[in-house]
């Protein structure tokens, strides 16, 4: 009796799975079809870089509520944290000035103290043999420090 139950159970599952496999349709999407469906949604315009776009869309009262004077934000944020970043950064390693530095300069200047070890080790020419690691870089550019700031409600 138990063997008959197992037999009918296996037979039932085979019929159900066979029927569902026969019913399923094969769907293949070619690259051409994918491009056709994707085109209306693919908008390459730089929305976040176009600040004027917000000004055109938003009512003037709403735009005034979400925008603030940049110089005021810089001043208030410097007062909030107690210092201006450009004044403090130059005191940590005064010998490093804004400009381009190559991997040959890293021995002369205190980059080993500034960078974490993994990053400092990649500031080289890529090895010609042995284990290679991605993202070796041979030069870096130090830009003048800018005072970061938050919007006035956060400050």
16 found inside a domain: no
DSSP state at residue 74: H
Within a domain: residue 20?
Answer: no
Q: Does residue 25 lie in a domain region?
A: no
Is 81 within a domain? yes
**Which tokens belong to 70?**
């940049």
Q: What is the pLDDT of residue 25?
A: 75
- Do the domain assignments include residue 153? no
- For residue 25, what are its two tokens? 């349709």
Specify if 15 maps to a domain.
Answer: no
Does the pTM of the predicted model rise above 0.75?
no
Considering the domain boundaries, does residue 4 fall inside one?
Answer: no
Sign of the CA dihedral with 147 first, then 150, 151, and 152 last: negative
Task: Give SS3 for 123.
Answer: coil
The more confident residue out of 134 and 148 is 148
Over residues 75-131, the pLDDT tens digits come to 898 899 998 888 888 888 888 889 999 888 888 888 888 888 888 888 888 777 666
For 1-58, the pLDDT digits (tens) are 788 888 888 888 888 877 777 667 777 778 788 778 777 776 666 555 666 777 777 8
Domain-located, residue 53? yes
Q: What is the pLDDT of residue 141?
A: 92
Note the pLDDT of residue 124.
83
Domain around 98: 30-142
């Amino acid at each position: 009796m138990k063997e008959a139950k197992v037999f009918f159970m296996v037979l039932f599952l085979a019929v159900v799975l066979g029927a569902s496999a026969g019913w399923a349709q094969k769907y293949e999407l070619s690259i051409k079809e994918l491009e056709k469906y994707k085109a209306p949604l693919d908008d390459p315009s730089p929305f976040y870089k176009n600040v004027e776009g917000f000004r055109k869309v938003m009512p003037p009262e709403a735009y005034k509520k979400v925008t603030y004077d940049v110089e005021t934000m810089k001043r208030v944020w410097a007062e909030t944290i107690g210092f201006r970043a450009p004044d403090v950064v130059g005191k940590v390693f005064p010998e490093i000035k804004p400009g381009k530095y190559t991997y040959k300069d890293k021995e002369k200047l205190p980059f080993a103290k500034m960078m974490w070890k993994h990053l400092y080790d990649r500031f080289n020419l890529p090895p010609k043999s042995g284990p290679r690691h991605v993202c070796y870089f041979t030069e870096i550019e130090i830009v003048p420090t800018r005072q970061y700031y938050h919007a006035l409600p956060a400050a």
